[in-house]
Structure 1
């Protein structure tokens, strides 16, 4: 009536092949040649979320659809920025008058009113319904159909924001994993690449590097491939906490 714990250890027979795997794509070739559209990805993601939510609802204790972890992952990634925000709060509270005075001097030196650009704010192409929603009362004075349309639009925007938050958290976790030696082989490859790049940049003139870079980016389509490059594959293979989420 006890519990059985199974431990699995993965090993490789060839270290060279293992290192070469970091430059290979994660997904099959057809995924990059004919990728899924955004609508198809949303449909598949919706079906996957429903399956997971249905399974969690049958657990003990049951977990509902409100289970989300992207926000907490993002807080972990940006913990350094939160520390800076805490320091700025102490500056605002005059915990150290000398530091606060220096920050005031720096703030006065850097503050200049920028030129207002309506195109950056997307103010010249705003939809009339969005302006009407902006000046609507609370609670709303519009009909149920208009409110439902605005709610669906808000859900769509919030879904895209949630996706972006998850992607940013994933990239930050991969960078943290690279710097914290979570994957020793990947970190060793990165250090070796940095060493080789430093030597190349030291012995090669800057004009030659710019020339080679321009020729590479403007190469003929015959020499271009739809498969992602080796650095992109390497970065995508770095461990993240995406698979650890419920």
Structure 2
């Protein structure tokens, strides 16, 4: 009348061979010598989903084809609000450490804690005077972080985290849209509502891409003589910069630039800097 629990433990006979596997490619050699095209991959994925769905539909209890397609991510090329949110949060999680470093460096530049700022200045001068210590310092820092995280890692394999895929907070309409067929089989009013929502989301991406393109277009015309005065100023600046960089040691310039970036807020201005104002406006 009891329950039988089966536990499977994966172990290796040789730790050296197990470490060597990490340096080998995941796929066979022909996958890299003659890679498959996207159409061939989609065709093979479709055939694999049909084979697995046909076999699991005869199991007890049977699984529907929609479950197999969802588990194998067969419709990853189609739009999904849940998948887009999950990808965005995953990307933010990947760059969270970089954002944290930038935030702390901003606090150093604003002299939130003068002791930390002085220590950063000393470390910066040491790295400028001895640039050969930059890479060893970076690798030593990552080693210490990995060693510190060893005492914080989980002792047992982690369970599935539903918040990574946003499956725990997905709206019913977004879930229905994800399982909708292609082309859609819904009513015209529901499709119009989803289309308007998609336009709203895509408009935010369009705004970000437009801002990035505008900044690039502001830099591009500097050498095209579209604005003769701006190009003259920029070319003259490049000439003086070349002379200064040729005659001044690079360590001194790096130290001056670092101290200028981390200067005290008393010596900062609330208005944008001169190089930002100098860039010509982007083309409309």
Classify the TM-score, shorter chain. Answer: 0.3 to 0.5
- Normalising to structure 1: TM-score of the pair? 0.41
Q: Which structure has the bigger radius of gyration?
A: 2
Say which structure, 1 or 2, has more relative contact order (CA 8 Å, 6+ apart).
1
- Normalising to structure 2: TM-score of the pair? 0.36
